[in-house]
Amino acid sequence: MANIKSAKKRVKTSEKARLRNKSKKTAMRTQMKKLEDIITTGTKEEALVQYNVVSSKLDRAVGKGLVQKNYAARQKSNFMKKINVM
């Protein structure tokens, strides 16, 4: 455990940020799973609506530094390929 006052504060803020990041990343993954389910069982219109949600979540995650830019681009590209095949 930290002994210096500023280090103790940093531990607290780091923990808050970790929990916030974990929550955002989990929400993003949940939306991605919903889109996968819609692609396998739903209609193309539903998939496009959900794709917009997923795309927004991915872009926000990139902006916050939760995921890399190429990861988000690859995911969006793969989802669009699957939707276009529907």
Instruction: Say what the pTM is.
Output: 0.86
Average pLDDT of the chain, as a whole number:
95
Tell me the mean pLDDT in the region 53-74. Answer: 97
pLDDT at residue 1 in the model: 72
- Rounded to the nearest 10 degrees, the angle between the axes of helix 69-85 and helix 5-41 is 10
pLDDT band at 67 (very low <50, low <70, confident <90, very high): very high
Condensed to tens digits (0 to 9), the pLDDT of residues 43-58 reads: 999 999 999 999 999 9
Percent of the chain at pLDDT above 70? 100
Q: Which of 61, 49, 50, 59 has the alpha carbon at shortest distance from 25?
A: 61
